[in-house]
Structure 1
Amino acid sequence: MSKPSFSLLLRLLTPSLSSLSPTPPNLALAATLFRLAHAASYKAVARRFMLDSAASCRVFYTVCKAIVDKLGYMFEFKSDMNRIVVGFGWISLPNCCGVLGFDRFQIDGKILGENGSLMVQGLVDSEGRFLDVSAGWPSTMRPETILRQSRLFSGVEESRELLNGPCFELGDGNSIPQYILGESCFPLSPWLLTPYVDHRNGLNSSEWAFNSVHRQGMELVGTAFGRVRARWKLLSKNWKEECIEAFPFVIVTCCLLHNFLIKCSEAMPDVNVEYYSREQELPPFEGEVDENGRRTRDALALHLNRVSLRR
């Protein structure tokens, strides 16, 4: 993090760090960022920043809470929809409002079963910003269950405050509502478009065109999570099961810092993300197919096929 970005973040957080006195806010923020970036233990942080271990722990969680409280507006799904839609338009996805996927974060111990992990559902835009993050779900839960219990689902299906913008005219008499792309583990719906399943007969040209663009879109999720892990190495460390309640809070903190650094035009870490290696771990949705969702996906697939043929 550059000095100007650190100074800006410090100004935003300082009013929320008065409870840490006599530890100055700049020291508290530096210690927290050091632990996040280097996966340093509390003892190592304490030695480096001349704190005792108890103070090191208190400083860390106080600063993380301040980041979540003060930077929460940087999950901009509702407030910046026009920019989001325009961004996806540049990559051949008209009226798209985000890409939804999962990442897994390992937990030691048996509390979540053998090889247990926490699931984090993330929605990202075309620039890799997180628009919505729902963290802390046990890997024993099915993806569609996690989705239905998330704030994102509630905002679309219940309160109707999300994805309620105008439809987009495709130019062939068809129109499509605002939508997001999602992994095959999610149920297909008019606002959540999943890929076509490649059965034995193979895909037709329109279905292939859709899946190709869909795959490119889904890579945005893997890249965003990959960059968060690359910069904040504490997330790649296996957390002890007694810390399971705090871990989701730290993950959200790191996603907000990721957005903050994009806003500050900081260089992002280079990552080589094989997104579908993770997707293959998630079972595909096997429930009934929503017919309105099928029609929306078919209309978009025909549009994408025509666009690809004109190139």
Structure 2
Amino acid sequence: MGPIRGNKKKRKIELKIDNENVLASGSSEEGSIDWWDEFSKRIAGSVSPSKGLDQFESVFKVSRKTFNYICSLISEPMMAKTTNFVFLNGKSMSLNDQVALALRRLSSGDSLIGVANFFGTNHSTVSQVTWRFVETLEERGLHHLQWPSTEHEMTQIKSKFENIRGLPNCCGAIDTTHIMMLLSTSERTIDVWLDRKDNHSMILQGSTFFDLAEKGERLQGKKLKLSEGTEVQEYIVGDSGFPLLPWLITPYQGRDLPETKSEFNKRHFATRLVAQRALARLKDVWRMIQGVMWRPDKHRLPRVILACCILHNIVIDMEDDVLDELTFTHQHDLGYRPEVCETADKNASISRDKLSLYLSGRLPA
């Protein structure tokens, strides 16, 4: 997980959309409110609005504004392909229909058959439309997953993290979560999909970020002076399952810690909760990756997960109020306890001690 999303004002300008003319191509029917009026009649009684949300938001987990933005983002490549998807009554699916179907599949966690029945189509169409949507979103939406590009953005992020419990020069928090799978008998022999508890799962984590940080392509901004002759570089925080590295600060291990180290751990825990809550919210909103997937296509699964991450950041970047109305569990990996990694870089250990002393007011001036 990266830093707290920042610079909303700038992004809001970039993402501004004319909702009345949202589609660059397609019929006027697709871009009008009439689409939802017609669609809502077909699903009447199928969905009861959640507390604080209207029926549209309850069905798709996004506002109309965000829905329209997603349609505009992917309209050209999505509609350029020749496959003509239809409902059971023979009517062709518009762009709005296809986006709605894919969002429902990803956000509800319902089976292919369940989504097919909801929309009045067959499960094969649900699968194909969702995959086309995933491919197109990956092509057009990756800019919603990016590390802050300016010093100003990073300064804002550091300020937000420091305001949590005082950790200075902290740029983010990291955590992992398991995407559970139920495989067929023949597939269960594939050890690559077994986690440490012998469950079949795929672990979601920003792995490319690790490589970039190790190469010095991340977290190489300004060092912060803590006292005369003492600096701390940019870093992120993670739990004890991660190695202690100069750019990745983990908590102290063991019991009966000195007061300075115990206090540091409390501050560290409160700060890394950002990552835990972000993953919990991601899986609560995009429920396709929340439960146990029945025989997923293991080659496509990473890209489905990526699409859910892109969609989640789109909702955040659009400052969508729907997120404020949803109820979240704050738990994303039930049944798993973090492992303890014994790997510790010597320089990182020194930096952590300096941070601990600084936060306790005991670092010499």
Shorter chain as denominator, the TM-score bin is: 0.7 to 0.9
Which letter does structure 2 place at the counterpart of 1:179? Y
Instruction: Tell whether 2:238 aligns with 1:182.
Output: yes
Q: Deviations over 1:248-277 (max 9, x none)?
A: 222221122111111122232332425797
Q: Is the 8 A contact 1:10 1:29 kept in 2?
A: yes
Change (3 A) 1:118 1:276: closer
Q: Is the 8 A contact 1:184 1:195 kept in 2?
A: yes
Instruction: Tell whether 2:122 aligns with 1:52.
Output: yes
Give the whole-Å Cα distance in 2 for the aligned partners of 1:105 and 1:275. Answer: 10
Which letter does structure 1 place at the counterpart of 2:271? G
Give the whole-Å Cα distance in 1 for the aligned partners of 2:314 and 2:218. Answer: 23
Task: Count the aligned residue pairs.
Answer: 275
Change (3 A) 1:192 1:116: same
Q: Is the 8 A contact 1:107 1:244 kept in 2?
A: no
- So what's the TM-score if we normalise by structure 1? 0.81
- 1:198-237 alignment runs, 5 A limit: 198-199=254-255, 202-237=256-291
Counterpart in the other structure of 1:281: 337
Q: Is the 8 A contact 2:177 2:332 kept in 1?
A: no
Give the whole-Å Cα distance in 2 for the aligned partners of 1:55 and 1:271. Answer: 31
Counterpart in the other structure of 2:65: 4
Structure having the higher strand fraction is 1
Q: Deviations over 1:121-143 (max 9, x none)?
A: 1xxxxxxxxxxx3xxxxxxxxxx
Unaligned runs of 5+ in 2: 1-61, 85-91
Secondary structure (helix, strand or coil) at the match of 1:107 reads strand
Secondary structure (helix, strand or coil) at the match of 1:306 reads coil
Give the whole-Å Cα distance in 1 for the aligned partners of 2:261 and 2:223. Answer: 21
Q: Deviations over 1:170-218 (max 9, x none)?
A: 245421000010121111111110000124xx21222112111111122
CA RMSD across the alignment: 2.2
Give the whole-Å Cα distance in 1 for the aligned partners of 2:139 and 2:248. Answer: 29
Give the whole-Å Cα distance in 2 for the aligned partners of 1:272 and 1:23. Answer: 35
Give the whole-Å Cα distance in 1 for the aligned partners of 2:138 and 2:63. Answer: 21
Give the whole-Å Cα distance in 1 for the aligned partners of 2:334 and 2:296. Answer: 29
Unaligned runs of 5+ in 1: 122-132, 134-149
Instruction: Tell whether 2:347 aligns with 1:297.
Output: no
Give the whole-Å Cα distance in 2 for the aligned partners of 1:277 and 1:40. Answer: 20
Give the whole-Å Cα distance in 1 for the aligned partners of 2:329 and 2:101. Answer: 29
Counterpart in the other structure of 1:260: 314
Secondary structure (helix, strand or coil) at the match of 2:76 reads helix
Which letter does structure 1 place at the counterpart of 2:219? L
Deviation at 1:297, TM superposition (A): 0.7
Q: Deviations over 1:28-84 (max 9, x none)?
A: 100001111222222333333343332221110111122222221122324243332
Within the candidate set 65, 86, 104, 2:159 is matched to 86
Within the candidate set 90, 99, 102, 2:176 is matched to 102
- So what's the TM-score if we normalise by structure 2? 0.70
Secondary structure (helix, strand or coil) at the match of 2:174 reads strand
Give the whole-Å Cα distance in 1 for the aligned partners of 2:100 and 2:331. Answer: 32
Give the whole-Å Cα distance in 1 for the aligned partners of 2:339 and 2:162. Answer: 30
- 1:245-256 alignment runs, 5 A limit: 245-256=299-310
Within the candidate set 220, 233, 242, 1:164 is matched to 220
Change (3 A) 1:274 1:108: closer
Instruction: Tell whether 2:99 aligns with 1:29.
Output: yes
Q: Is the 8 A contact 2:249 2:348 kept in 1?
A: yes
Give the whole-Å Cα distance in 2 for the aligned partners of 1:71 and 1:305. Answer: 43
Deviation at 1:284, TM superposition (A): 0.7
Which letter does structure 1 place at the counterpart of 2:274? L
Give the whole-Å Cα distance in 2 for the aligned partners of 1:275 and 1:5. Answer: 25
Q: Deviations over 1:259-302 (max 9, x none)?
A: 11111222323324257976x62321123x31100111111111
Which letter does structure 2 place at the counterpart of 1:270? T
Which letter does structure 2 place at the counterpart of 1:90? N
